[in-house]
């Protein structure tokens, strides 16, 4: 399954790069709403925590991001994951928000290293 727009390219989950496991933010938006807005298709998957719905995206810069919603996650929302070896989590958050056509107002949680993004006028 490949889907491309000028904002992102959706890749099959089996093309996920090693290390794509660091949560940078949790949106207030559920996977169904993300699918409705952007046409992203979530696939069933499982990790060491739980079963989940996940989507793998590549941004125009070539970076991969994953969107994940664990089945038993206690609060609503979708996690945005970046590579655990990223040099700038704040930049990754900016790039992923632009790709998803979201703003910091759509976020429920932000990684402490990316807080500066939420305190700027980046939209």
CA 73, CA 120: separation in Å to the nearest integer?
29
Note whether residue 105 is domain-resident: yes
Tokens of 87: 């040099």
Question: What's the pTM?
Answer: 0.90
Dihedral angle over CA of 26, 29, 33, 37, nearest 10: -80
Q: Kindly state whether residue 113 falls inside one of the protein's structural domains.
A: yes
Q: Work out how many domains the chain is built from and give that number.
A: 1
Note whether residue 45 is domain-resident: yes
Structure confidence at residue 3 (pLDDT): 57
* pLDDT exceeds 70 at position 57: yes
Question: For position 123, what pLDDT does the model report?
Answer: 41
Q: Is residue 35 part of a domain?
A: yes
For residues 19 and 4, the model is more confident at 19
Residue 92 lies in a domain: yes
Residue range(s) defining the domain that contains residue 34? 3-118
3-state secondary structure of 94: helix
How many residues make up the chain in this entry? Answer: 123
Residue 9: inside a domain, yes or no? yes
For residue 28, tell me if it sits in a domain.
yes
Give the tens place of pLDDT for each residue, 98-122. 999 999 999 999 999 888 776 654 4
Task: Give per-residue pLDDT as tens, 60-93.
Answer: 999 999 999 999 988 999 999 999 999 999 999 9
Residue 123 domain flag? no
């Amino acid at each position: 399954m490949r889907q491309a727009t000028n904002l992102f390219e959706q890749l099959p989950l089996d093309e996920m790069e090693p290390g794509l496991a660091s949560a940078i933010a949790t949106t207030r938006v559920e996977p169904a709403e993300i699918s409705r807005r952007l046409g992203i298709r979530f696939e069933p998957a499982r990790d060491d925590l739980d079963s989940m719905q996940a989507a793998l995206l590549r941004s125009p810069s070539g970076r991969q991001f994953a969107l994940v919603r664990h089945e038993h996650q206690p609060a609503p929302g979708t996690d945005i994951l970046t590579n655990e070896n990223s040099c700038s989590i704040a930049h990754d958050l900016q790039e992923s928000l632009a790709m998803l056509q979201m703003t910091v107002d759509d976020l429920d949680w932000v990684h402490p290293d990316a807080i500066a993004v939420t305190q700027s006028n980046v939209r």
